[in-house]
Structure 1
Amino acid sequence: MSKTLSSTEKVRHYRQSLRAAGMKPVQFWATDPRAPHFAETIERQCRAINASAEEQEILDFCDAAAADIEGWV
């Protein structure tokens, strides 16, 4: 009769298999779009970008990079 694994044991086995495949866990933090003032911050940053002298150069670079990705455009 096989033993039923707990969820903790399943996660441990899963992580071990990922590590064996050369992966490692990474934690990162991202801005919460539900946070107070998130929309205002985004609008302020967009205005700063739009006012930037380098904006068109950056957009051209992004377009060229996206064109290299199959199925992107």
Structure 2
Amino acid sequence: MAKQQDVSGVATRVSRHRKKLREQGLRPIQMWVIDTRHPDFAEEARRQGAAVAQSAGEADDQAFIDAISDLDV
């Protein structure tokens, strides 16, 4: 278990770092993203992919994805 002194040292460094970032005009945000490890993720991704593939704008959608994708990796 971490000592109180160790924890407060980390908290001080983090506080200084955040203060410096704020001085640079940045602010912290919290962002929630899809958990790709969730058991339902793959099924939902397949469902949404199939819906896009069957949509009237599929060709335009795919052209857009192709245009912004760097496939020469």
Q: TM-score, normalised by structure 2?
A: 0.75
Q: Which amino acid counterpart does residue 35 of structure 2 have in structure 1?
A: D
Q: CA deviation at 1:36?
A: 1.8
Cα distance in 2, alignment partners of residues 18 and 26 from structure 1: 12
Asked whether 1:46 is paired with 2:46, we answer no
Query: Structure 2: where are the runs of 5+ without partners?
Result: 1-7
Counterpart mapping for 1:17-36 below 5 A: 17-36=20-39
In the alignment, what sits opposite 1:12?
A: 15
Q: What is the number of equivalent residue pairs in this alignment?
A: 64
Q: Percent identity?
A: 36
Cα distance in 1, alignment partners of residues 60 and 45 from structure 2: 21
Cα distance in 1, alignment partners of residues 20 and 31 from structure 2: 22
Q: CA deviation at 1:39?
A: 0.6
Task: Flag the structure with higher helix content.
Answer: 2
Query: Structure 1: where are the runs of 5+ without partners?
Result: none
Q: TM-score, normalised by structure 1?
A: 0.75
